[in-house]
Amino acid sequence: MMAQVTRRKFLACSAAAGAAAGWARFGGQPVQAAEPLVRGTPAADKLGWRVGFSAYTFRGLTLFEALDKIAAVGLRYTELFAWQKLSPQHADAKPGPALSKTLRQDLKKKASDLGIQMIACYTGLDSPDAAKAFFEFAADMGFQALVSEPPEGVLDAIEKLTEEYKIDLALHNHPKPSHYWNPETGLKALEGRSPRMGFCCDTGHWCRCGLEPVPVLKQLGARVKTFHLKDLDDFGVPGARDVIWGQGKGRIAEILAEVKRQGLKPYFGIEWERTADSEPALHAEAVAFLEKTAQKLVAGS
């Protein structure tokens, strides 16, 4: 089982923790903190890293509810996914091209009121027309990247759209047998293409496939755009499950050191697959580990 998240343990390890009014057991009922649990990530900021959430972490909730959870942790960025219900009042609406102008404004206001930047969205891009529609939506919403696993035959159209809209494509890797599980497939597909086309590095899926993250990052280099950063309870095991960053075999510290060595400035998203909802304190502890590691990397510069 996962280690219990306690107030004493978190405050002892976190240089970024803020005052909290209440704490909850893993799997328990949500407890809202009076203030965000994380009071910034100054060391990560110095390295040019942005730290946030994949909204998929809270896929059992609506997007509006997920944004509340992200704000409770205290992070300022998120990557949406296109099939999440928008809100309890608009459960039939989803963040995509079909979203009405009114609901787009409501979503923008919700995120802005919470101090959260919607930096990217995971979606299909299965055809040139679908890609065009989603890039138009992304531009309206202010996204900086679209995360996807499009067919290689659509990449020519997507490349033109990245330049037209100034929005990046980040190829995502699901585990084998998905098309892009092997980074060499994506590298070959992007060879000679715009620098706006790169990778969303799902480190957990690399580990599940037995791929060591550091050598993969050396291969990808400047093509790295974003991360679905995961720590796992085992390596090379397809069914390995999430644990808090730094507590498993997902090579988190080594990944961060390699990113710093290359001088990359990506977006790191917490993507928690173990449950469809989880408590803010669980993820605040993960952020504390990243911040502590970043402090060491800054000091060693």
- Give the total number of structural domains in the chain: 1
129 to each of 12, 107, 160, 269, how far by Cα in Å? Answer: 52, 24, 13, 28
pLDDT digits (tens, 9 = 90+) for 139-178: 999 999 999 999 999 999 999 999 999 999 999 999 999 9
**Encoding tokens for residue 61?**
């909730």
- How confident is the model over 81-133, as pLDDT tens digits? 999 999 999 999 999 999 999 999 999 999 999 999 999 999 999 999 999 99
Residue type, 264: L
Question: Ramachandran region of residue 150, left (φ > 0), alpha (ψ -120 to 50) or beta?
Answer: beta
Within a domain: 7: no
Phi, psi of 172 (to 5 degrees): -100, 150
Residue type, 291: E
pTM above 0.85, yes or no: yes
Residue 226 lies in a domain: yes
- Is 8 part of a structural domain of the chain? no
Task: Please report, for the domain that includes residue 206, its CATH number.
Answer: 3.20.20.150
Quote the domain boundaries for residue 217: 13-299
Instruction: Tell me how far apart the alpha carbons of residues 10 and 50 are, in angstroms, rounded to a whole number.
Output: 21
Residue 98 lies in a domain: yes
- The number of angstroms, rounded, from the C-alpha of 155 to the middle of its chain's C-alpha atoms is 23
